[in-house]
Structure 1
Amino acid sequence: MRIVITGANRGLGYELTAAAAQRGHSIIAGIRSAKPEGKLLDLIGRFPGQIEAVELDVCHEETVAQLAQNLMADGQAVDAIINNAGILLGRGVSIEALQMEDVTRSFEINLFGPMRVIKHLLPLVPDGPSRAIINISSEAGSLSNAYGGDYPYAISKTAINMLSKQLKKYVRGRGIRVYALHPGWIKTDMGGEKAPGDPVESAQGIIDILELRKDIDPEHFFINFKGEPMPI
């Protein structure tokens, strides 16, 4: 399986890349820089020929379009897309003190970024239930559990849930699975040290979902990393 993962250089994106490589998949690891470094570079060395790091800044559509053009020119299909790149700004800030720049930036990365990726890479995804698009979301995006805070993050994640629902309808005839996925509150730069969840466990669960190891009701589109439905 060839998997495109955005934000692959750290946090959940790195763990997803590692988990997929360990299972023998080919990964196109999207990063904002031109060259991989640090942990991702070491990981590429451990799995030669399996991980290709590419410059993919979800805020710059030309980098996404270039990737699609390169894949098409090489006759390569994409079996799965994991839109993982995301940002958390304005945490705990009241609506009265909210910086609107944080809202704009959050939508730019958390919503418009995945839209750009899907726009250009969806034509490269073959039909069939073995293919999937996973948009990393959050329980913060649940309307029924709205808690009156983290406005930029929560509202952008509600929007990515809607995008996932729309896309699921759009590709239904092609058999492609689409999910908005809550990875859990995990220990990453975004989640912080107080987070109880393990990003390795979350990543393994997400790859299980890609590999059809979880029994998921086909009507569900908002799920967690275990394949369980989340409240909309």
Structure 2
Amino acid sequence: MPVSKKRLAVVTGGNRGLGFETSRQLAAKGLKVVLTSRDPKKGKLAAQTLSQEGLDVVSYPLDITDSESMCSLVIQLQRDFGRVDVLVNNAAVLLDTTVKNHYDERDFGPGEGSVLTVTRSTMEETMSVNVYGPLLLSQLIVPMMKDLKYGRIVNVSSNFGQLSNIAGQWPAYRISKVALNAVTGVFADEIKGYNILINSADPGWAKTDMGGPGAPLAPEEAVDTIVWLSTLPDDGPSGKFFRKRRVIAW
């Protein structure tokens, strides 16, 4: 199994939005980037777009809700590169909203915006994508990072994941981001001593399919903290929650 000399970053949900811009900026820093997409055609198009900018980016298919898909991805990464240095768990869904769901094109009614009426299926699907996927994919990739004695994992969270900001609509999304932050904390404790740093990032409200055109931040601005955490020095922080490169309360 050949081991690439170039550091490799994996960005889930990298075919659009913050994942796409994160892929662009990491590649611009000299990393080889594997962006993943549930839709192989969209992933390939995104990678081609970045490659045309002179960036070293390829796309691999991944359904973050499917364990076999995750295992296949990791096997392919081991075979093709022999390493993963950076994992950005970016893929996420916001289902409990009246806005069209950009994950599978369904529409949800206003009842989905309240914890009093949110459905079990919405909770389960949200947790599957936003929490279980990042947790399980990290489990699969950490052994490669241990072998390298180097790794950076960034869980893309939200200000809705802060316990101080927990009240409000979109309960499934809020609860999932709180849980994702918990994943960051428990992983940080387990991987001490291997030069693997894991942190959560709140990118802010950005102009993406999920954020909408009225958001104040351009994707280029929003991913700054994600990219920074992905390239931390060895003495960098771990097990923290960041916004604008500053630690914030859970």
TM-score, reference length from structure 2:
0.83
Matched, 1:163 2:183: yes
Cα 1:139–1:129 change in 2 (3 A) is farther
Residues in 1 aligned to 2:116 and 2:79: alpha-carbon distance in whole angstroms: 50
- Point out 4+ residue stretches in structure 1 off by more than 6 angstroms: none
The answer to whether the 8 A contact 2:188-2:239 is kept is no
1:128, distance to aligned residue in structure 2 (A): 7.6
| 1:33-90 CA distance string (max 9 Å, x none) | 2343544432233336x11200111011112111211222345111110000000111
* Correspondence 1:181-192 to 2 at 5 A: 181-192=201-212
Residues in 1 aligned to 2:153 and 2:173: alpha-carbon distance in whole angstroms: 21
Q: What SS does the aligned partner of 1:174 have?
A: coil
1:152 counterpart residue number: 172
Residue 114 of structure 1 aligns to which amino acid in structure 2?
P
Residue 107 of structure 1 aligns to which amino acid in structure 2?
M
Residues in 2 aligned to 1:39 and 1:51: alpha-carbon distance in whole angstroms: 9
Q: What SS does the aligned partner of 1:118 have?
A: helix
The answer to whether the 8 A contact 1:129-1:177 is kept is no
The unaligned stretches of length 5 or more in structure 1 are: none
Residue 71 of structure 2 aligns to which amino acid in structure 1?
A
Matched, 1:14 2:13: no
The unaligned stretches of length 5 or more in structure 2 are: 1-6, 98-109
Which of 150, 155, 164 pairs up with 1:135?
155
TM-score, reference length from structure 1:
0.90
| 1:104-147 CA distance string (max 9 Å, x none) | 11001000110121121111114688621001111101112222
Residue 25 of structure 1 aligns to which amino acid in structure 2?
L
Residues in 2 aligned to 1:82 and 1:219: alpha-carbon distance in whole angstroms: 14
Q: What SS does the aligned partner of 2:14 have?
A: coil
Which range is displaced more, 167-176 or 154-163?
A: 167-176
Which range is displaced more, 159-168 or 203-212?
A: 203-212
1:170, distance to aligned residue in structure 2 (A): 0.4
Residue 6 of structure 1 aligns to which amino acid in structure 2?
T
Residues in 1 aligned to 2:147 and 2:70: alpha-carbon distance in whole angstroms: 21
Residues in 2 aligned to 1:104 and 1:20: alpha-carbon distance in whole angstroms: 32
2:53 counterpart residue number: 46
* Correspondence 1:56-135 to 2 at 5 A: 56-74=62-80, 76-91=82-97, 93-126=113-146, 131-135=151-155
Residues in 1 aligned to 2:151 and 2:245: alpha-carbon distance in whole angstroms: 16
2:246 counterpart residue number: 228
Residues in 1 aligned to 2:231 and 2:44: alpha-carbon distance in whole angstroms: 28
Q: What SS does the aligned partner of 2:229 have?
A: helix
Residue 111 of structure 1 aligns to which amino acid in structure 2?
V
Equivalent pairs, count: 229
Q: Percent identity?
A: 30
1:198, distance to aligned residue in structure 2 (A): 1.7
The answer to whether the 8 A contact 1:80-1:210 is kept is yes
Residues in 2 aligned to 1:187 and 1:150: alpha-carbon distance in whole angstroms: 19
RMSD: 2.3
Residues in 2 aligned to 1:5 and 1:57: alpha-carbon distance in whole angstroms: 13
